Structure 1
Amino acid sequence: MWGSGVTAVMLTMEFLEVAMNTVNKAAMSKGMSHFILVVYSNMLAVFLLLSSSFFFYRKRIAPPITWSILGRIFVLSLLCCAGQVFTYIGLGYSSPTLASAMTDLTPAFTFMLGVISRMERLDLRSKSSQAKSIGTMVLITGGLVVTLYKGLPITGSPSSSNKLQNELLLLPSSKWVIGGFFLAAHSFILALIFIIQTWIIRDYPSEILITLITCGFVTILSATISLIAEEDPDAWRIRPNIDLVAIGFSAVFAVSLRSIVHTWACHKKGPVYTSMFKPIGMVIAVFMGVSFLGDTLHLGSVIGAVIIALGFYAVVWGKSQEERTVEDKEKCSFESSSPKVPLLQNKCTNV
């Protein structure tokens, strides 16, 4: 009922996403082109997914693909290509922390698009819809608190905190504005991706093949864009350093595993449930910074984490109540169709 398996997998994805943003930021700081990163990571992902699909469908039949499904996947590919490029541009102008913070907008965008597309039920008279709506707003509020409110230091030395503030003051504000704009655009694109993934997976239940075809389209699209936008021929040269690590990490995690998991989660729980894990990424980024980089833990981060936990619980509770209501209606419908249970029929009618 609570979808503990889906929840655990999605939390793991957020941990890996914070690590991926850090690696990609390090590679782009060394001069790697974000256009080339998109091309090579998707190209490598195609080979990984192709071998995985051969293994997965070795003893089973793949569902037949239609032109309608192929057209939807192409639209998904356009969004994925734009989303990846926008992410790396925004990351290049800002930082992994800001990248995690801007994804706090994704649940709000996804909730609005889910209601508009009727993929999410919204009946403010029911407790489940109220919990989902309030929980989504609380999630976003908690993410903004972690991002905008610092508060008193709890752990770490004041010198390290002052050093971090000085480093932020030395960064050009214009670059952070540009980076924030591209990362905000990526949040909206990511919400559209969740909606379209749900639309596709309901009619074509094969996460691996959807991701494989999408990666193929993205490789072609990004290569075309890179040939036009990237004027330096040396940018295509892969060096055995952090560039290679970034390409491998992005191909295995961001393009392959994360896309499959998000499509699977959209199929199991819907787009809003999938998107609500994004504010947790900010808490994970702060936690990893404090644990491994010696960053200072501030009161605002703790308050924001508590608010995010409350919002997360509210959305999960709302989804579980909604699923229970659907299951009860299906059970009542099945039992009322049987002539042997007239008492149950009356009971179901009164529920």
Structure 2
Amino acid sequence: MARRNELKELVLPTTAMVAVQCSTVVGTILFKAASSKGMNYFVFTAYCYALGSLVFLLLAFFFKRKTALPPSKFPLFSRILLFELLGFSGQLCFYKGLQLGSPTLASANSNLIPAFTFILAVFFRMEKVAFRSSSTQAKIIGTIASIFGACVIILYKGPKVISSLTWTSSSSSLSSSVLLQWPSVLMSSESNWIIGGLLQIVTFLIISFGFIIQSQIMKIYPEEITVTFFGKLLGTIISLPVCLLFEPNLSSWRPSSSLAVVAVLYTGILGNSIYALIYIWAIHLKGPVFVASFQPTSIVIAVVMSAIFLGEAIFLGSVIGTLILSTGLYCVLWGKVKEEEEGEEMANVDYSSLSTIDGSTPLLQRQLG
């Protein structure tokens, strides 16, 4: 029984969050490639919201026996509306920044999310900060180590460790003709690197704030599917008129290539739907800092995927940075587990068995009573 609880409480959320990060990197690469072929980021955002609403409408229909309509509470709907307004703004900033920058830059900047989220969680009193506590020390050290490891990957290249991981023999022609054309797309000389990076930083600050809001929403109404459906519906209502206002040319709303269709379907179904559900489920289960701590893994995934699918070499800096980042992530996870154990120990203390020398009720018990 204890092992089943451990699987539910740590292993399953950890595996889910790593899978989400893998999917996110793939989604950024697909959008960057589609945008190079004429895909407008306003159109892309509106399509993804509409597709996400449709997916969650189907999910709400199939799970209607397990979900109920949310109560008519202003705090709930105001938070969902605020979350979607921020989410829509964040997506526009992210996709514009991705057009000007690259997926690698986005993965690098995403390492700011754990720091942003931890600071916001402390500010909103959602995370305990007891500097003498080993769990708090582990979370702080792990967050710093994760960011430092990502910086090592970005700033220190070093000698080659592995020249390439692309397929050979019969598959080499495929990787040369299709996959190896992508680096020129992803690293376009016309990209405005600085503006793209700043837009992505704004995005990740919004995402961190969104984690905090999602955590509050789950406390008010812990129904992931229903909450996400209403959120996507509000997002669609907001995004369609705004995107039409900024992109009134109807010809731009036609998919410019099959790659654009794939990017929209992939992001709309997975990124804006299934993985949005996983995010809110993990936040409900483990809290916003746990979810944010996995963001630094995206740059490791980006490096590995670039080596496999784009034929890029793996350098010593990437290996060292990955080891540091993995150690930092482990520290954060250990800190969360330790914090939960400390909370359980405090909850299981039998204060009735405590007494003072004169047999009177202890002060702590009187205060708690």
Report the TM-score when normalising by structure 2: 0.85
Aligned to 1:154: 161
Aligned to 1:3: 10
Task: State the alpha-carbon separation in 1 of the partners of residues 160 and 72 from structure 2.
Answer: 56
Aligned to 1:75: 82
Report the alpha carbon displacement of residue 58 of structure 1 after superposing the two structures with TM.
2.5
Report the alpha carbon displacement of residue 33 of structure 1 after superposing the two structures with TM.
0.6
- Equivalent of 2:29 in 6, 10, 22: 22
Q: What's the Cα RMSD here?
A: 2.5
Paired amino acid for 1:212: F
Whether 2:246 is the aligned partner of 1:229: answer yes
Report the alpha carbon displacement of residue 64 of structure 1 after superposing the two structures with TM.
2.6
Distance 1:302 1:55, change over 3 A: same
Q: Structure 2 matches for 1:290-305, cutoff 5 A? A: 290-305=307-322
Deviations 1:135-179 (A, max 9, x none): 10111111111112111111117xx9xx9999999724x611111
Does the 8 Å CA contact 1:63/1:205 hold for their aligned counterparts? no
Does the 8 Å CA contact 2:67/2:225 hold for their aligned counterparts? no
Whether 2:52 is the aligned partner of 1:45: answer yes
Report the alpha carbon displacement of residue 65 of structure 1 after superposing the two structures with TM.
4.4
Paired amino acid for 1:313: Y
- Equivalent of 2:271 in 248, 254, 264: 254
Whether 2:124 is the aligned partner of 1:117: answer yes
Does the 8 Å CA contact 2:32/2:185 hold for their aligned counterparts? no
Aligned to 2:139: 132
**Count, aligned residues:** 336
Aligned to 2:358: none
Report the alpha carbon displacement of residue 336 of structure 1 after superposing the two structures with TM.
3.8
Paired amino acid for 2:239: S
Task: State the alpha-carbon separation in 2 of the partners of residues 83 and 204 from structure 1.
Answer: 24
Whether 2:216 is the aligned partner of 1:175: answer no
Paired amino acid for 1:197: Q
Q: Please identify, of 21-30 and 1-10, the stretch whose mean Cα deviation from structure 2 is larger.
A: 1-10
Does the 8 Å CA contact 2:153/2:317 hold for their aligned counterparts? yes
Q: Structure 2 matches for 1:216-295, cutoff 5 A? A: 216-238=233-255, 241-295=258-312
What secondary structure does 1:193 align onto?
Answer: helix
Task: State the alpha-carbon separation in 1 of the partners of residues 37 and 182 from structure 2.
Answer: 21
Does the 8 Å CA contact 2:102/2:186 hold for their aligned counterparts? no
Distance 1:181 1:60, change over 3 A: closer
Aligned to 2:168: none
Structure 1 residue ranges without an equivalent (≥5)? 340-344
Does the 8 Å CA contact 1:28/1:34 hold for their aligned counterparts? yes
Does the 8 Å CA contact 2:103/2:186 hold for their aligned counterparts? no
Paired amino acid for 1:280: T
Bigger proportion of residues as helix: 1
Does the 8 Å CA contact 1:46/1:215 hold for their aligned counterparts? yes
Task: State the alpha-carbon separation in 2 of the partners of residues 189 and 293 from structure 1.
Answer: 31
Distance 1:291 1:165, change over 3 A: closer
What secondary structure does 2:300 align onto?
Answer: helix
Report the alpha carbon displacement of residue 62 of structure 1 after superposing the two structures with TM.
4.5
Structure 2 residue ranges without an equivalent (≥5)? 1-5, 165-175, 355-360
Distance 1:220 1:117, change over 3 A: same
Paired amino acid for 1:41: C
Distance 1:48 1:337, change over 3 A: farther
